[in-house]
């Protein structure tokens, strides 16, 4: 049987798609009994390792794979324990882990957040809320967040922008609802910011901000926190948007495809761009204000990209938007 499995694994990368598909189906048909033979391939680090073909096959087994993977976590072999952990979380989130593993992961997160060298948020594209660092509890209450737990920045960004960040579930009345997962960064210092607030937090959550309207959320957040912003960088559509609200009122906004593009009076940081352009092109660009979301964020609160440790205060948090759906329900292994 091991020789047969090895041959099937080699066929997974065959140029003939029919051969690859047949090998995949045969390996899946082995069921949980094939895990012990397949899992060693997931620790193969060679350049042409079959890992990327084999791990999805184990995950296709779904709940059938959980008991054996948990046994490997408890009893080994030791070299396979990390792979078993990753697949367990991919299949069922942290809920798929036993209590010992859950405590170990939580302990590792607490250790890692003490030594973060920087916060690195996506700089090419994204959408985020910004609110004052010292209003974290107000923001959590205003946005209706639950299961707020410490998270490293690399873990939080992955959870809120690349991994599964929304989950449909049945509530107690049998009604389908959707819960979201979001990441709140540590406080980030910005002495360029226009105004008295110098430390800001960012909230990332692509599905949350898209489906529940980041502009509306920023306005509601400003009622609780005094001020809140929403920014959008969308290079795919060559579009920028930024929005400032204070005490529940819109102060200033820009949208590439909005009409009109600008609303509200220019803010103080915009005046220098408008009154002192370098050339005619810049004069035209800033005739009505600043159209760049990244420039606005840099001058108003907190911009994307890397932020060094000396400008970071506290640590980040993962949270969900429904009390019945904790972070452990979301599937997918996260880097820590």
Question: Is residue 45's pLDDT more than 60?
Answer: yes
Least confident of 13-17, 132-136, 212-216: 13-17
The pLDDT-based confidence of 52 (bands split at 50, 70, 90) is confident
Q: What is the mean pLDDT of residues 52-65?
A: 88
Do the Cβ atoms of 194 and 267 come closer than 8 Å?
A: yes
Domain boundaries, the chain: 2-97, 118-329
What is the token pair recorded at 249?
A: 């009122």
Assign 3-state DSSP to the chain and report helix, strand, coil percentages, each to 5: 50, 25, 30
Taking alpha carbons only, the member of 105, 107, 110, 133 closest to residue 307 is 133
pLDDT for 281 equals 84
Question: Is residue 1's pLDDT more than 70?
Answer: no
Do the Cβ atoms of 66 and 92 come closer than 8 Å?
A: yes
Do the Cβ atoms of 119 and 185 come closer than 8 Å?
A: yes
| Phi, psi (rounded to 5 degrees) for 158 | -60, -45
Do the Cβ atoms of 312 and 73 come closer than 8 Å?
A: no
More confident residue, 242 or 40: 242
Instruction: State pLDDT tens for residues 244-303.
Output: 999 999 999 999 999 999 999 999 999 988 988 888 888 888 989 999 999 999 999 998
Instruction: State pLDDT tens for residues 69-116.
Output: 898 888 888 899 889 888 888 888 888 888 888 888 889 899 999 888
pLDDT for 300 equals 94
pLDDT for 169 equals 93
Greatest alpha-carbon span in the chain: 77
Cα 293 to the chain's mean position, in Å? 20
Least confident of 64-78, 115-129, 187-201: 187-201
Which alpha helices (H) appear in 132-184, and where do they start and end?
136-143, 153-161
- Round the average pLDDT of the chain to a whole number and report it: 90
- The helix (run of H) or strand (run of E) holding residue 217 is helix 214-225
pLDDT for 34 equals 87
pLDDT for 2 equals 54
More confident residue, 115 or 230: 230
More confident residue, 195 or 108: 108
Q: How far apart (Å, rounded) are the C-alpha atoms in residues 84 and 275?
A: 61
pTM (2 d.p.): 0.87
Directed axis angle between helix 51-60 and helix 17-29, to 10°?
A: 50
Least confident of 60-74, 183-197, 284-298: 183-197
- What is the secondary structure of 245-313 as a DSSP string? EETTEEEEEEETTSSSSEESPPPHHHHHHHHS-SSHHHHHHTSSS---HHHHHHHHS--SEEEEGGGEE
pLDDT for 3 equals 59
Do the Cβ atoms of 269 and 299 come closer than 8 Å?
A: yes
């Amino acid at each position: 049987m091991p020789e047969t499995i090895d041959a099937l694994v080699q066929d997974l990368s065959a140029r003939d798609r029919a051969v690859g598909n047949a090998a995949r189906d045969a390996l899946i048909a082995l069921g949980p009994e094939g895990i012990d033979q397949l899992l060693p391939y997931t620790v193969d680090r060679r350049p042409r390792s079959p890992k990327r073909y084999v791990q999805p096959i184990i995950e296709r087994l779904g709940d059938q794979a959980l008991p054996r993977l948990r046994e490997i976590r408890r009893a080994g072999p030791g070299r396979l324990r990390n792979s078993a952990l990753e697949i367990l979380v991919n299949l069922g989130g942290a809920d798929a882990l036993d209590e010992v593993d859950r405590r170990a992961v939580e302990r590792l997160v607490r250790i890692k957040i003490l030594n973060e060298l920087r916060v690195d948020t996506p700089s090419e594209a994204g959408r985020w809320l910004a609110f004052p660092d010292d209003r974290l509890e107000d923001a959590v209450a205003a946005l209706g967040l639950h299961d707020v737990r410490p998270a490293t920045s690399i873990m939080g960004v992955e959870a809120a922008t690349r991994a599964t960040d929304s989950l449909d579930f049945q509530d107690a009345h049998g009604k389908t609802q959707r819960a979201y997962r979001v990441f709140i960064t540590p406080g980030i210092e910005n002495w360029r910011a226009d105004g008295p607030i110098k430390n800001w937090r960012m909230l990332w959550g692509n599905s949350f901000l898209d489906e529940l309207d980041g502009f509306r959320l920023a306005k509601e957040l400003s009622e609780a926190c005094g001020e809140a912003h929403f920014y959008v960088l969308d290079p795919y559509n060559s579009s920028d948007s930024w929005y400032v609200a204070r005490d529940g009122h819109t102060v200033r906004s820009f949208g590439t495809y909005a009409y009109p593009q600008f609303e509200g009076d220019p803010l103080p940081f915009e005046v220098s761009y408008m009154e002192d352009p370098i050339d005619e092109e810049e004069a035209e660009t800033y005739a009505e204000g600043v159209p760049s979301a990244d420039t606005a964020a840099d001058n108003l609160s907190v911009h994307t990209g890397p932020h060094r440790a000396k400008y970071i205060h506290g640590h980040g948090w993962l949270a969900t938007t429904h009390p019945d759906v904790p972070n452990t329900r979301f599937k997918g292994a996260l880097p820590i």
